[in-house]
């Protein structure tokens, strides 16, 4: 048997049903407001993420110039440093350099000039037929290969038929010291390369 409602209950039920559309409309408006807020917040976050990060430019590094020695620097007691030079040289015979990689080093032991023993670094160069020979010698020096006796080295490749001379120039000596070194048996300058070694001979002293 179905239950019955009195007049008070019917009125209350009627008011409840009448209020449902209003509450549903309020809930729908609130949901729209929340969704809008979320959309705005998400858009702001996306906009912030989309901004490109600042680019940091790489540091520019300057190339440090080499200061490798090209001749033995002056080394003597005060008052004994002069303006003369004495060269020591050895001319390599033809056919010394075959195609390929080579290396050499120079050793200096000249106590008569108050020079401490000096062992130069190993220097590498390449012999190739693609490098044209030149009419003047190429000098194998403490700092590398060069076309001049005192100029900066910088040659990396030579032709197999190129005339080459090992050269060490001792600078900053007096004329008397230079002449004494040229005549002394105690002043020894040696070039070593690949599997060979030869002593350099002193030449005429001069003023650079």
The single residue listed with the structure tokens 């230079």 is 178
* Better-scored residue on pLDDT, 41 or 67: 41
Same domain assignment for residues 18 and 103: no
- Is the residue at 208 inside a domain? no
Query: Residue 57: is its pLDDT beyond 70?
Result: no
Q: Are residues 48 and 96 in the same domain?
A: no
Give percent of the chain above pLDDT 70: 60
pLDDT at 80: 58
Q: What is the pLDDT of residue 22?
A: 41
Q: Are residues 24 and 92 in the same domain?
A: no
46 and 88 co-located in one domain: no
pLDDT tens digits, 4-13:
444 544 454 4
pLDDT of residue 166: 98
As for how many domains the chain has, the answer is 2
Percent share of the chain, pLDDT over 90: 50
Measuring CA to CA, how many Å separate 2 from each of 5, 10, 11, 62? Answer: 10, 15, 19, 100
**C-alpha pair distances (Å), 189 with each of 38, 120, 206:** 86, 11, 18
Q: Contact at 8 Å (CB) between 187 and 112?
A: yes
Q: What is the mean pLDDT of residues 70-78?
A: 54
Task: State whether 103 and 167 are in the same domain.
Answer: yes
What is d(CA 192, CA 57) in angstroms, rounded to the nearest whole number?
47
Say yes or no: 90 and 48 in one domain.
no
Using DSSP bridges, classify how beta strands 118-119 and 138-141 pair: parallel, antiparallel or unpaired: unpaired
Host domain of residue 12: 1-52
Q: If you average pLDDT over residues 144-165, what whole number do you get? A: 94
pLDDT of residue 192: 97
Indicate whether 58 belongs to any domain. Answer: no
Mean pLDDT score, 93-120: 90
Give the chain's mean pLDDT: 74
Q: Higher model confidence: residue 59 or residue 203?
A: 203
| pTM for the predicted model, two decimal places | 0.63
Angle at 91 between CA 203 and CA 115, to 5 degrees: 45
The stretch 126-153 carries a mean pLDDT of 94
């Amino acid at each position: 048997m179905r239950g019955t409602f009195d007049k008070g209950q019917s009125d209350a039920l009627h008011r409840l049903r009448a209020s449902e559309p209003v509450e549903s409309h309020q809930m729908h408006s609130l949901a729209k407001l929340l969704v809008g807020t979320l959309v705005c917040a998400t858009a702001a976050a996306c906009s912030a993420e989309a901004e490109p990060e600042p680019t940091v430019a790489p540091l520019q590094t300057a190339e440090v110039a080499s200061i490798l020695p090209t001749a033995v620097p002056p080394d003597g007691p005060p008052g004994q440093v002069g303006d003369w030079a004495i060269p020591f040289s050895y001319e390599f015979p033809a056919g010394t350099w075959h195609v390929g990689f080579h290396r050499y080093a120079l050793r200096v032991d000249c106590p008569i000039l108050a020079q401490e023993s000096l062992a130069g670094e190993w220097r590498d160069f390449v012999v190739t037929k693609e490098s044209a020979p030149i009419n003047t010698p190429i000098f194998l020096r403490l700092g590398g290969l060069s076309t001049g006796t005192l100029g900066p080295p910088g040659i990396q490749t030579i032709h197999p038929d190129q005339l080459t001379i090992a050269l060490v120039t001792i600078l900053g000596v007096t004329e008397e010291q230079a002449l004494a070194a040229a005549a002394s048996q105690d002043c020894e300058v040696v070039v070593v390369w690949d599997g060979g070694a030869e002593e350099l001979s002193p030449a005429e002293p001069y003023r650079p």
